[in-house]
Amino acid sequence: MNESQVPPLQLSEPLPEVTDTGDDLARYCRDIRDASGPVAIDTERASGFRYSQRAYLVQVRRSGAGTALVDPIAFEDLSRLDTAIGDSEWIVHAATQDLPSLREVGMRPRALFDTELAGRLLHFERVGLASLVEQILGRSMEKQHSAVDWSTRPLPGPWLDYAALDVEALIELREHLDDLLQQAGKREWAQQEFDALLTYTGPAARPEPWRHTSGIHKVKSARGLAVVRAVWTARDQIAAAHDITPTRILADSAIIEMAVECPRSRGKLRDLKSMRARGPRRFLEQWLEAVVAGLDESDDALPTKVPRSMGPPPPRVWSHQNPSAAHRLGACKGAVSEIAEAHDVPTENLVPPQAIRTLAWEPPSRITVASVADTLAEAGARPWQTELLSGRLATELA
């Protein structure tokens, strides 16, 4: 069956009105409590438009209760809905994207099934929601509204239809994936992964996030890097204050141009190519203040040209800095690849890459299966992963 022959996923009930009043929310909470089974949950954010990662729509579906499209902006929080769901299992797709914004509105899971993660453990080549729905349920999904500005009010009808479809198939998809995990002997592995997500609060903060400014390789001096850091920080503060994604305030290319040209006067800054547009000029004084602050940094406060290491250095330099570690890394990566292939699991889901680098760079003083397992666990590996890997890695390291 080619793509044009795959029937589209459709709503099983009429599209509900947006839940944005206390009475409507109370009514749906009663429906949720009276129903049974797992609860499908999804969120829509305004990434690319807003600075925050808050949820601008929360979709909830349960057999017997139907679907609700809840506007979290209309409520102080959604703790009432969280209480109604109680200890019931949540079904989410790509939980790490949704859980932080759901916690922000007072919702947290007590039990969880992540359909994307299940798909990864089953080694599906494509694990997006639309792909899994098509491969497993034989239905197509359109994703044309995934990158729209969900902070828009009122939300257009086609967007709401799209949002409701995101939870329409999750319950059925979960059942099929659960059966496949059982058949593959991976259900316990998945449960350990799901349980670990229950306390997930968001990605770890990047050290020196300004270093990820696109085009920073063009800045050759430490003082230029100080300008990047100062302007990036100013942009971030403005973006947070206005709740607008930073690159809509000022493009990365503009920051790099300032760091290369180093304008000290308002006129020279205004003459830069990146300042010709009206948007960046709105904050011209703040940009000038940041550029001058970066240029006037004391020598001992200037950023280093190479980021300060927060662990082992990049593997590309190991062969020069630590040839023994480079050899150990190659052996360990080869072992991981073999084990991943033998158990039909992607290598990135078999072990956190940082754990292997840590082991290879500085192995335990006494290499045993137990010491290797402890190191893997400290790096975030689950018990199923340490069980598969510890013995083989201890052999390679020794």
- pLDDT tens-digit profile of 156-197? 999 999 999 999 999 999 999 999 999 999 999 999 999 999
The pLDDT confidence band at residue 236, using thresholds 50, 70 and 90, is: very high
The CATH number of the domain holding residue 349 is: 1.10.150.80
Determine the distance from the C-alpha atom of residue 59 to the mean position of all C-alpha atoms in its chain, rounded to a whole number.
19
Here the tokens at position 92 are 């989410």
- Among 169, 197, 225, the domain-final residue is 197
Is 170 part of any domain?
yes
- Asked if residue 95 and residue 13 are part of one domain, the reply reads yes
How many structural domains does the chain have? 3
CATH number at residue 98: 3.30.420.10
Please tell me whether residues 67 and 154 are part of one structural domain.
Answer: yes
* The last residue of a domain, from among 250, 279, 301: 301
What is the value of pTM for the model shown? 0.91
**Claim to verify: residue 177 and residue 96 sit in the same structural domain:** yes
Does residue 244 share a domain with residue 110?
Answer: no
Q: Considering the domain boundaries, does residue 308 fall inside one?
A: no
Task: For 39-81, write each residue's pLDDT tens digit.
Answer: 999 999 999 999 999 999 999 999 999 999 999 999 999 999 9
In a domain, 310, yes or no: no
Does 338 lie in the same domain as 295? no
What are the structure tokens assigned to 82, written together? 């969280």
Considering the domain architecture, whether residues 26 and 159 belong to the same structural domain is answered as yes
Task: Indicate whether 167 and 113 sit together in one domain.
Answer: yes
Among 301, 326, 356, which residue terminates a domain?
301
Domain membership of residue 203 (yes or no) is no
Instruction: Establish if 309 belongs to a structural domain.
Output: no
Non-local CB neighbours of 102 within 8 Å, separated by 6+ positions: 41, 43, 55, 58, 108
Query: Which domain range does residue 261 map to?
Result: 209-301
Q: Tell me: do 230 and 290 sit in the same domain.
A: yes
Question: Do residues 8 and 147 both lie within one domain?
Answer: yes
